[in-house]
Amino acid sequence: MKTKYLGNQRIKRDGTEQKFRVDLDFNGKGAFGIEVYINNALTAKSNYKFEEGKGYIKSKKFFFKHGVYSRHMFAFQATAKFKMRKSR
HSE, side-chain direction, 13 A CA sphere, residue 56: 15
In-domain check, residue 87: no
How high is the pLDDT of residue 67?
62
In-domain check, residue 38: yes
How high is the pLDDT of residue 73?
67
9 within 8 A of 38, measured Cβ to Cβ: yes
* pLDDT values of the chain reduced to their tens digit, one per residue, 88 residues: 678 888 777 777 788 888 888 888 888 777 788 898 989 999 989 888 777 776 666 666 666 665 666 676 666 667 777 777 776 6
How many domains does the structure of the chain reveal?
1
In-domain check, residue 88: no
For residue 14, give its domain range: 1-82
CA distances from 45 to 8, 42, 61, 88 (A): 14, 8, 22, 21
How high is the pLDDT of residue 82?
72
pTM: 0.64
